[in-house]
Structure 1
Amino acid sequence: MFKLTKKDKIHIFEEWTLENKRGTYLSKKYGIRREKVNYLINL
């Protein structure tokens, strides 16, 4: 696990909202836990 950059966080949010990618896919793609993806989206 590594620290996400600001660009990574923006890409995660864009993929979640614009491309309708879900937490499981994004967690595997970025190597983070699904809960962290959900946390970032809820911010």
Structure 2
Amino acid sequence: MTRLRSALATARSTRARRRDERELQRALAAAPTQESRHEIAAMATRS
């Protein structure tokens, strides 16, 4: 049962990271200027 819980936790964590990455990519694509893209990327690395 511990392995199953560990596998499920890992899968949830992986999905969350992918969701965050997609969110960041959408924000970068929607940024109106190159400077905005740099600001968004900088904020993403801080968190």
Whether the TM-score (by the shorter chain) exceeds 0.5 is: no
RCO comparison, higher one (Cα < 8 Å, 6+):
1
TM-score bucket (shorter structure): 0.3 to 0.5
Is the radius of gyration larger for structure 1 or structure 2? 2
TM-score under structure 1 length normalisation? 0.42
